[in-house]
Structure 1
Amino acid sequence: MRRVLVFFAVLAVTLAGCATVAPMDSTDAPIRYSCKAGKRFTSAYALQGKTVVVTAGGATRTLKLARSASGARYAAGDAELWSKGSNAILKGFPGGPYADCRSQ
């Protein structure tokens, strides 16, 4: 019985050493959006899509994943990013709203 427990303890430690976890502050490469009227913004998703760092109009803000009926929605205060596929709308940033945007 003791040998079985030792085996499972060694197995657990070995498997734990094989697991990989992304750093809490890691972000994916920024996605660039071009919008109508020549407006542009970037977004970088972090924490496995639970937050997004958006830069637009000289401001950078972190938005949290929010409930949506369709697509992905991120919000913080008056700032809001809606995206579905390659399309997006951004509100609450200087120079906005950023409408009819497409990822590049």
Structure 2
Amino acid sequence: MRRALILLALLSLTAAGCATLAPDATDAPIRYRCQAGKGFTAAYALHGKRVVVTAGGITRTLKLARSGSGARYTAGQAEIWGKGPAATLKGFPGGPYLDCSSQ
């Protein structure tokens, strides 16, 4: 009986370790604070291929784009470009959001 309980516990841990996020899941939103008291949030989705940005009272989904350095996401005129904790955001009401840092 004890062996069966141990085996069951090990199988539960193994199954939990194999769990993956749904393909459209987003990470918890990251808050950015920018110069002039501005701010926005960004939640990365689809393993970094998209980001959902909320700024200036609107929310948009931006797709991963080519970048020489850092990570860049675009959708029309909207663009977020980040490297490490730093980012800039353009194309949203109240922008541009410059010299931003994740909190």
TM-score, scaled relative to structure 2: 0.81
Distance 1:28 1:20 in 2: 15
Q: Offset of 1:24 from its aligned partner?
A: 2.0
Q: Which position in structure 2 is the counterpart of 1:42?
A: 41
Distance 2:62 2:37 in 1: 23
* Ranges in structure 1 where 5+ consecutive residues have no aligned partner: 1-17
Distance 2:49 2:30 in 1: 16
Distance 2:70 2:19 in 1: 29
Identity across matched positions, percent: 71
Q: Offset of 1:20 from its aligned partner?
A: 3.5
RMSD (CA atoms):
1.0
Amino acid at match of 1:52: V
* Ranges in structure 2 where 5+ consecutive residues have no aligned partner: 1-14
The DSSP-based 3-state class of the residue aligned with 1:48 is: helix
Give aligned pairs, total.
87
Amino acid at match of 2:70: G
Distance 2:28 2:100 in 1: 18
TM-score, scaled relative to structure 1: 0.80
